Structure 1
Amino acid sequence: MSDLYASYQRIRFDRPADGVLRLTLNRPERMNALDAIGHRELTDVWRDIDRDPSVSAVILCGEGRAFSAGGDFEMIDEMIGDFDARCRVWKEAKDLVYNIINCSKPIVSAIQGPAVGAGLVAALLSDIPIAAKDAKIVDGHTRLGVAAGDHAVILWPLLCGMAKAKYYLMLCEPLTGQRAEEIGLVALCVEEAELQETALKTAIRLAEGAPSAIRWTKYALNNWLRMAGPMFDTSTALEILGFSGPDVREGVASLREKRPPSFGKSCSV
Structure 2
Amino acid sequence: MTAVVVTRRGPALWARIDRPGAGNACDSAVLAGLERWLAGAEDPGVRALVLTGTGRSFCAGADLTEATGLLGDLPALLAFLDRGRSLVRAIRAARVPTVAAVNGAAFGGGLELLLACDVAVAAGSARLGDRHLAVGQVPGWGSSVLLPLAVGPALARRLLVTGETWSADEAARRGLVSEAVADADLGPHVDALVATVAARDERAVRRMLGLARPAVADAAWEREWAALAAHVADQAADRAGPPGPPA
- TM-score scaled by length of structure 1: 0.81
Residue identity matched to 2:226: A
Shift of 1:112: 1.9
User: CA 1:115 to 1:240, structure 2 compared with 1: closer, same or farther past 3 Å?
Assistant: same
Which of residues 173, 186, 191 is equivalent to 1:182? 173
Q: Which residue of 2 aligns with 1:134?
A: 125
Matches within 5 A, 1:16-55: 16-17=9-10, 19-43=11-35, 45-46=37-38, 48-55=39-46
Q: Distance in 2 between matches of 1:198 and 1:248?
A: 48
Q: Which residue of 2 aligns with 1:14?
A: 7
Q: Which residue of 2 aligns with 1:199?
A: 190
Shift of 1:62: 0.7
Is 1:103 paired with 2:94? yes
Q: Which residue of 1 aligns with 2:204?
A: 213
Shift of 1:135: 0.8
Q: Which residue of 2 aligns with 1:240?
A: 229
Is 1:152 paired with 2:146? no
Shift of 1:187: 1.0
- TM-score scaled by length of structure 2: 0.88
Q: Which residue of 2 aligns with 1:68?
A: 59
> Contact (CA 8 Å) 1:32, 1:63: kept in 2 or not?
yes
Matches within 5 A, 1:58-97: 58-97=49-88
User: CA 1:28 to 1:38, structure 2 compared with 1: closer, same or farther past 3 Å?
Assistant: same
Q: Distance in 2 between matches of 1:117 and 1:77?
A: 16
Q: Distance in 2 between matches of 1:144 and 1:78?
A: 16
Q: Which residue of 2 aligns with 1:168?
A: 159
Shift of 1:248: 11
Classify the secondary structure of the residue corresponding to 2:233.
coil
> Contact (CA 8 Å) 2:3, 2:18: kept in 1 or not?
yes
Q: Return 169-178 or 228-237, whichever deviates more.
A: 228-237
Classify the secondary structure of the residue corresponding to 2:57.
coil
CA root-mean-square deviation = 2.2
Shift of 1:39: 2.5
Q: Distance in 2 between matches of 1:69 and 1:249?
A: 25
Shift of 1:177: 1.2
Q: Distance in 2 between matches of 1:175 and 1:207?
A: 31
Shift of 1:117: 3.2
Residue by residue, what CA displacement relative to the aligned partner does 1:35-66 show, whole Å, maximum 9, x if unpaired?
222134324532x1332222111221111121
> Contact (CA 8 Å) 2:59, 2:106: kept in 1 or not?
yes
Classify the secondary structure of the residue corresponding to 1:167.
helix
> Contact (CA 8 Å) 2:111, 2:143: kept in 1 or not?
no
> Contact (CA 8 Å) 2:4, 2:15: kept in 1 or not?
yes
Q: Distance in 2 between matches of 1:178 and 1:169?
A: 19
Residue identity matched to 1:65: R
Shift of 1:246: 4.2
> Contact (CA 8 Å) 1:109, 1:129: kept in 2 or not?
yes
Q: Distance in 2 between matches of 1:159 and 1:28?
A: 27
Shift of 1:213: 1.1
Runs of 4+ in 1 over 4 A off after TM superposition: 246-250
Q: Which residue of 1 aligns with 2:218?
A: 229
> Which runs of 5 or more structure 2 residues have no equivalent in the other structure?
240-247
> Contact (CA 8 Å) 2:26, 2:61: kept in 1 or not?
yes
